[in-house]
């Protein structure tokens, strides 16, 4: 009997350590062929981070992790450069969001063997995308895009400051979209900041209420009966 995947958000761990995985890869295949910039809002603890981790491994071409799943023989499994930004990893409480983003861009650059010369977080983000896509357009995955807003809703001044910072940060996507980004997905728990933060990104496809992807996260009754018959 496979272990229940309670709290597992890392796809390689889930697959390599024998946890049960409800196969969502047919919908994921449809998703990556639907648009170039995708936005999805769902409540916390709903599987967004696992989806991002799954997409990360998919675009890295790690076919072995998908053995036995629907998508196994449906794509070419060529590896593509990628950049994943998880706002859960940013410390914006003890320092400004601008400083947190600046430090995080340097951290991500170091992980990829790069050293960024720019000083401003926006310029660092831009240069990181450009460097990573020098040979092939990259896949950009952003998890919890609005975390720095929704965590601080009781502090109107701080929220306004963070909205301004994030709008500046995400404006990089418009200037790099055509030449450097192959595919991009952003997840969050709200649409609160969507309209203002992404106002410069005209081609952002919101699938939050798209019936085609209603079961991309969570379990359907049919899936419960098929995957958990003895639970």
Could you report the per-residue pLDDT of 50-100, keeping only the tens digit for each?
999 999 999 999 999 999 999 999 999 999 999 999 999 999 988 999 999
Backbone angles phi, psi at 84, to 5 degrees: -115, 125
Task: Give CA–CA dist 42/21, Å, rounded.
Answer: 19
Between CA 104 and CA 228 the distance in angstroms is: 40
Scanning the chain, the segments in alpha helix (DSSP H) are 11-16, 25-32, 48-60, 97-111, 121-132, 147-150, 156-170, 172-180, 194-197, 221-227
**Which residues have CB under 8 Å from 26's CB, separation 6+?**
70, 71
Would you call 7 exposed, middle or buried from its count of C-beta atoms within 10 A (0-12, 13-18, 19+)? Answer: exposed
Least confident range from 3-7, 50-54, 133-137, 211-215: namely 3-7
Q: What is the distance between the terminal CA atoms of the chain, rounded to a whole angstrom?
A: 11
What is the spatial distance between Cα 194 and Cα 209, in angstroms, rounded to a whole number?
Answer: 14
Decide if 201 contacts 37 (C-beta within 8 A): yes
Is pTM beyond 0.85? Reply is yes
pLDDT in tens, 115-167: 999 999 999 999 999 999 999 999 999 999 999 999 998 999 999 999 999 99
């Amino acid at each position: 009997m496979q272990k229940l995947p309670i709290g597992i958000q890392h796809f390689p761990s889930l697959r390599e350590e024998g946890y049960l995985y409800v196969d969502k890869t047919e919908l994921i295949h449809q998703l990556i062929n639907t648009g170039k910039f995708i936005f999805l809002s769902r409540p916390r603890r709903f599987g967004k981070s696992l989806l991002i981790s799954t997409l990360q491994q998919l675009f890295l071409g790690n076919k072995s992790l998908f053995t036995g799943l629907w998508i196994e023989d449906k794509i070419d499994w060529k590896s593509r450069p990628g950049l994943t930004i998880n706002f859960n990893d940013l410390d914006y409480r003890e320092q400004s969001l601008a400083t947190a983003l600046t430090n995080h861009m340097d951290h991500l650059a170091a992980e990829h063997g790069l050293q960024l010369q720019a000083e401003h977080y926006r310029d660092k983000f831009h240069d990181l995308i450009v460097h990573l896509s020098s040979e092939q357009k990259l896949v950009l995955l952003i998890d919890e895009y609005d975390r720095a807003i929704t965590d601080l809703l009781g502090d109107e001044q701080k929220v306004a400051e963070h909205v301004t910072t994030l709008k500046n940060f995400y404006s990089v996507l418009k200037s790099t979209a055509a030449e450097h980004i192959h595919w991009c997905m952003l997840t969050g728990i709200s649409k609160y900041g969507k309209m203002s933060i992404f106002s410069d990104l005209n081609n952002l496809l919101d699938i939050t209420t798209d019936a085609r992807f209603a079961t991309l996260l969570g379990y359907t009754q049919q899936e419960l009966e098929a995957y958990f018959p003895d639970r």
